[in-house]
Amino acid sequence: MMKVIVVMKFEPKRIAMATGTTEYITNMLLGRWAYYLKCCEYYFKCLPELFGTHLLFIAALGVVSGMLVRRWRHETILILIMTVVCFTFFAYVPAKEGRYMLLLSVPIVIFCLLGLLSTAQCIGKLTEMRTEWVRAAILTAIAVLIISQAWAASKVSVLSISGFKQLVGFLEKIAPDEPVFYDGKDSGIFTFYLRAGDPNYRRRAVLGRKLLYAESMYYNTKEFISSPQEAVEVLQKSSGCQWVIVAYDHTDAQQIAAHRHLQEAVKGPEFELVQSFPIIRKWKTGVEERTNACIYRFLVPIERVDEVDMPFFSLGENVRIRIKPIQR
């Protein structure tokens, strides 16, 4: 309940994306069914990518056989109602992402089992196969299905990122109880390793995308610095960090001017390069992307920071809230 209250207070725009505004509901009721059907079409196209064509075919076979066989008809109708309700709800919600349809994996798996079960039983009756052989055939079909799905899953290209564990391990030695500043891609991975090794909240992560600039899905990116000198001043007065990590990237990181200003600033006399760590992003296809994350020591005396001035774009374009870091 507490999580719901927090989301409703600090993320009203996301609540609107999930539930729809009054105008959205009114337009739907007044006949915007063309848009609704377009949403249904979007999710129909997502299903083969999420579950695979052969799995959907077996599930469709299970629906047909479940409706034809009296023994499974009641359960089939209940699962169909669940499927239709889920599909209808997510087609209505303004926010659209294919992963929402993963909830349908439960009825799809059940329908697949019904399809395999009914097919094996039908073949057993037609060939007058013994009951033991029918059961063996059902188990074999299920095993083949699971193995085929495991094989298909192994072929999915998943990004593997390495280097952050070693980076944070080095920070644990040189700054065991100090806040650190991080700017660059994969800030979530960096923060995870930093927090995972600090159960007593002795360290703190300060992110460039909150201090030097702010990104939002509702507004354009806001940059709070316009030169390398301003980057030095902000780090000195507002970060509270002596240790600065810059994760270099040759693609989208260069699109934000604040990145470039910081990267120019750390080349100045105010910073000392301590260590550089390779960050390797590798796909199962064999494609690798190598970048560097560099640790700098901020040589300028820094001011103590007891509260952080955080931008909250979800509450408005210029809304900022002062927050005290968690301490124990």
pLDDT tens string 98-133 = 788 888 888 988 888 888 777 777 766 767 667 777
What gap in Å lies between CA 302 and CA 239, rounded to an integer?
Answer: 8
279-301: pLDDT as tens digits: 988 876 777 888 899 999 999 88
Residue 31's pLDDT is what? 53
What confidence score (pLDDT) does residue 75 get? 87
Give the DSSP per-residue string, 252-294: GGGGSHHHHHHHHHTTSTTEEEEEEEEEEEE-TTS-EEEEEEE
139 and 177: one domain? no
pLDDT at 277 over 90: yes
Pair 197, 292 in one domain: yes
Question: Residue 10 domain-assigned?
Answer: no
Residues 177 and 303 in one domain: yes
Confidence (pLDDT) at 253: 47
How far apart, in whole angstroms, are the C-alpha atoms of residue 317 and residue 273? 36
The pTM (predicted TM-score) of the whole model is 0.69
Same domain, 311 and 231: yes
Contact 296, 266 (CB under 8 A): yes
Task: Please indicate, yes or no, whether residues 255 and 307 belong to a single structural domain of this protein.
Answer: yes
Is 43 contained in some domain? yes
pLDDT number for residue 150: 80
pLDDT of residue 227: 92
CB neighbour list of residue 94: distance below 8 Å, 6 or more residues apart = 16, 17, 18, 20, 24
Q: Give yes or no: residues 198 and 242 share one domain.
A: yes
Examine the domain organization and report whether 166 and 309 are in the same domain.
yes
Q: 199 and 122 in one domain?
A: no
**Under a CB-based contact definition with an 8 Å cutoff, are residues 284 and 158 in contact?**
yes
Instruction: Give yes or no for a contact between 298 and 270, defined as CB atoms under 8 angstroms apart.
Output: yes
Query: Are 77 and 207 found together in one domain?
Result: no
Q: Residue 320: pLDDT above 90?
A: no
Would you say residue 242 lies in a domain?
yes
Q: Which domain holds residue 135?
A: 32-154
44 in a domain, yes or no?
Answer: yes
Instruction: Identify whether 7 is part of a domain.
Output: no
Task: Give the pLDDT band of residue 199 (cuts 50, 70, 90).
Answer: confident
Q: Which residues pair with 162 in a beta bridge?
A: 280
CA distance 57 to 111: 10
Q: What is the pLDDT of residues 41-86, one digit of tens each?
A: 777 788 888 888 888 888 888 888 888 888 888 888 999 998 888 8
User: Per-residue pLDDT for 262 more than 80?
Assistant: yes
Q: How far apart are CA 231 and CA 211, in angstroms?
A: 10
Whether 15 is in a domain gets the answer no
**192 with 309, same domain?**
yes
User: Among the three residues 120, 154, 188, which one is the final residue of a domain in this structure?
Assistant: 154
3-state helix, strand, coil in the chain (%, to 5): 60, 15, 25
Give the three-state DSSP class for 168.
Answer: helix
In a domain? residue 21: no
- Residue 146, strand partner residues: none
Residue after which a domain boundary falls, among 105, 133, 154: 154
Query: How many domains is the chain built from?
Result: 2
Average pLDDT, the chain: 80
DSSP letter for each residue of 31-81: T-HHHHHHHHHHHHHHHHHHH-HHHHHHHHHHHHHHHHSHHHHHHHHHHHH
Q: Whole-angstrom Cα distance, residue 323 to residue 2?
A: 18
User: Which residue among 139, 154, 169 closes a domain?
Assistant: 154
Task: Give the CA angle between residues 13, 204, 255 to the nearest 5°.
Answer: 55
Are 177 and 313 contained in the same domain? Answer: yes
| pLDDT tens by residue, 210-251 | 888 887 666 677 888 889 999 999 999 888 889 999 998 766
Q: Which residue has the tokens 């007044």?
A: 30
The pLDDT value given to residue 47 = 84
- The C-alpha atoms of residue 291 and residue 281 are separated, in whole angstroms, by 8
The yes-or-no verdict on residue 26 having pLDDT over 60 is: no
Displacement of CA 92 from its chain's centroid (Å): 22
147 and 180 together in one domain:
no
273 belongs to a structural domain: yes
The DSSP H or E segment spanning 222 is strand 222-223
Give CA 19 to chain center in angstroms. 20
